[in-house]
Chains A and B, each alone.
Chain A
C-alpha cells in the first residue's frame, strides 16, 4: 500500500547515539514513505526508545543524519515537521474534558474566553475522522484506557499528521480496543500517514507491518518487507547472538524442595504455581510488564496477593515480609536506587544493614560496633568489590559495585533462598560476570535461587529451569536441556490476544 512513487518523508542516514562510552544506537539507516507502517522490533534494551527519542527531537544524535523531505535537519521540531508520537505513558490530563485535551496546545477563542463550542467541534471532527464515538465533553478520567489512547492519537494528529510514532500502543488494551486501534492504523495508512509502530508482540508486527527494522544491541540487524519474512526468522533476528555458552557450572539441584508457590494471584498476575529445589536456579523470563517483578514481590510479602506459599515445607500464611525473611530468604530488588541502597550511607553500613547482629560483637548490651569493619571487609573481598575505603559513600561507587554491595549484604545473612530481580541491570560486563559467578556458587552450595530477568541470555546461561511469563500468566516452562531461546521469545512476545 506504500506509494513507492512518492519521496520519503523521513530518512535516517547512519544514525548513531552514544551515552559516554556506551553506544546505544549504531549505524541505523532507513527511509519512511507516506502511507506505510514500519515496525520497529528488538529485545529490551535494543535501542528502540533511544531511536524514537531522536526522531521526536528529545535526544540529539551523536553522529549521522536525519532527513525530512530530503533535507538534513539539525534539530527536529516534531510539530513543525508533522511528526507526532504517542508514548507508552499517555500524556493526557485526566481532569480535563476530551475536547480540552485534544486542543490543549492551541485552544480556540481568546485567552480570556476559550471557545469551548469550537474546541468540542474540532475534537468531534478529529474523533469522527478516527471513526470513534467519544463525547468531546466527557472527562478523560471517565474513559477506559483504550479510549484514552484514541484521544491521545487524536491529539497527536491534530498538529502533526504526516508521521505518527506509536510506542507499544497495545500493551494495556483489551482485544476489541486493540482491533479498533488497528482499524484506525489501516485507515491512516490509506490516507497516506506514515506510521512507525514499535511493538513487542510479533503477531501484531506480522499483521500490521509493511516493513520491518530489527534492532539488536543498537545495530540494525535486519530490514525488509514483512511479506518476505517468516515470523520465526524475524524472531531469530531479534535474539541473534548464538547462545552456545551454557558451560557454566551451576551444580545439580538437590531433591529437597526449598520453596513452593501455589495459585498465587494478584492484580498483576494470576495462577502462578511453581516450586524450587535446594541448589536449583529457577529463571523467571518475560518481557517488561509480564509480571516478573510483581511475582517476586508477592512471594516476599511486599505486594498483597492471594495464594499459598511454602518455605521448607512450612506454610507461610499470610505471606508477610517478616515471616518470609525470617525463613532465611534474601531479596535483591530490581530498582537498586530506590529500594536497594541507602544512598547517603557508607559501604560498611550498606553491607551490614540486613543483619547487623552478625557483624558486631558487644561487650555491653546495645552499645558498640566492634568487628563490623573486619567482617564487612571480608564481604568486600568475597564479592570482589573495588572500593577506596569502607567508609566511602555507596553512591560514589559504580553501578556494578553498588549491586555487588547489595548482593554481598544479603549473602552475608547466610540465606537458604535467594531471590534476585534483574541483578545485572545497568552493570558493566566485569561486574556482571562476578555476579553470575556468585549466583552459580550459591547454587552449588545448595541455596535455592529465583532469578527474574528480562535478559534472556543471562537466564539461559545460569538457570536450571526457566518459566516464561506473559501478561501475568506463566505460559511456558523449559528444562535446561530443552532451552530454546527462539521458542521462549516467541512465547513471551505473543500478545495475549493471539490465542
Chain B
C-alpha cells in the first residue's frame, strides 16, 4: 500500500516536471473534437499542412521562450520576421544569390535581436516598451524598403518553404532541428542554465557572479535569429513579399510559449512545450477553417486562448504563493489552518 503511494507520488512528480504535458493533452482533445466534427481533419495531408504551418510559429516560439525565461518579453519578433523577409526578397532579386540573401536576412534579424537585448540590459528599459518601440522601428524600416509593394520572388529560391527531402517538408525538418538545438541549449549548456537563473532572480544571479548581461543579450539575439529564420521560411512559402507578412505572429508566439508551460515571470520553461503550444494554436486555426467558421473570428478565438493561457500561468503562480503562506501559517500554528483542515475533513 505504502509502496503504491510512493510510486504514485513518483509518477505525479515526474508528470508535473513535464511542463508541456497539459498542452499535449489539449492537442489530443482538440484532435478528437475536430475529427468528430469534420471528416477532412483526419486526413494525412491536413496534418502535414498543420505541421508545416506550425513550423513558422514554432521556430519563433523556441527563440522567444528563452527571452521569456529570463523574465523578459519580445514583441518585436513579428516585425523582425517582416524585416528579414524584406531583406531576403530584395537581396535575392537583386543578386540572384540565394546564399547571400539567406545570410543577409539572418544577420539583419540577429542584429535586431542584439539591439533589443542591449536596450533592455544597458538602458534598463522595460522589455515590453523597448520591444514595442523596436517593433515600430523594424516594421518601419521594412515598409520603407518595400514601399508596401508586393515583391514576387522566383520559384527557384523557395526550396526552404516548399521543398521536400525524402518526402518530408523542409520547414518541418528545420522546426525539428531548431527544437532539438533549443532543447539542448536549455538543458545542457551553461547559457540555458543561466537563462533560468537570471529569470528566477537577476539579483541573485549577479551576486553569484553569473554573466547576467551576456545571458540576457544572448536570449534576445536568439529570439531575433529565430524570427529571421521564420521570415525566410515564410517568404519562401508565399513566394512573394507582402506587407502583411507576420502581422500578429508575436502574439501567437507569446501564447504558444505560455501555453507550453513557460512562466511569464521567468525561470522555469520548456522549449518543447513552446513548439507544442504553436501546434495547438495552428490546430485551432485549422479546425475553424475546416468548420468553415468566419475567418474574422480567428483573432477573437486566439485572444481568448491567450487569455486562458495567461490565467493558467497566473493561477499557478498564485497557488505557489498560497502554499508558501500556508507553510508559514502551519509553522506558527495559526488557527486558520486548523479550520482549513477541519473543512477538509468534513
Contacts and interface: CB of A to CB of B under 8 A. Distances in A.
B207 A144 contact: no
B167 to A, nearest CB: 33
Given A105-B210, A113-B188, A114-B190, A93 B334 contact: no
B206 to A, nearest CB: 10
Interface in A84-106: 91-96, 100, 104-105
A463 B184 CA distance: 64
Residue from A104, A142, A263, A267 whose CB has the most chain B CB atoms within 10 Å:
A267
A95 B263 CA distance: 10
Contact of B336 (A94, A172, A267, A471): A267
Contacts of A144: 327
A159 B205 CA distance: 16
Interface stretch (B45-53, B79-87, B130-138, B196-204): B196-204
A429 interface: no
A253 interface: no
A353 interface: no
Interface stretch (A227-235, A268-276, A325-333, A477-485): A268-276
Given A111-B191, A114-B193, A93 B267 contact: yes
B17 A139 contact: yes
B332 A96 contact: no
B326 interface: yes
How many A residues touch the partner, as a band?
35 or more
Contact of B189 (A111, A306, A473): A111
A387 interface: no
B201 A263 contact: no
Interface in B255-283: 263, 267-269
Nearest to A173: B331
Contacts of A449: none
A96 B210 contact: no
Contact of A91 (B190, B199, B204): B204
A151 to B, nearest CB: 13
Contacts of A306: 335-336, 339
A471 B193 contact: no
A271 B267 contact: no
A91 B197 CA distance: 10
Interface of A: 91-96, 100, 104-105, 107, 111-114, 116, 139, 141-142, 144-145, 172, 174, 263, 265-271, 291, 306, 471-473, 496
Given A111-B190, A267-B326, 6 more contacts: A93-B197, A95-B197, A114-B189, A144-B327, A265-B336, A266-B329
15 contacts: A91-B204, A92-B204, A94-B268, A95-B199, A100-B193, A104-B210, A107-B193, A141-B268, A141-B320, A142-B13, A265-B334, A266-B334, A267-B328, A268-B325, A306-B339
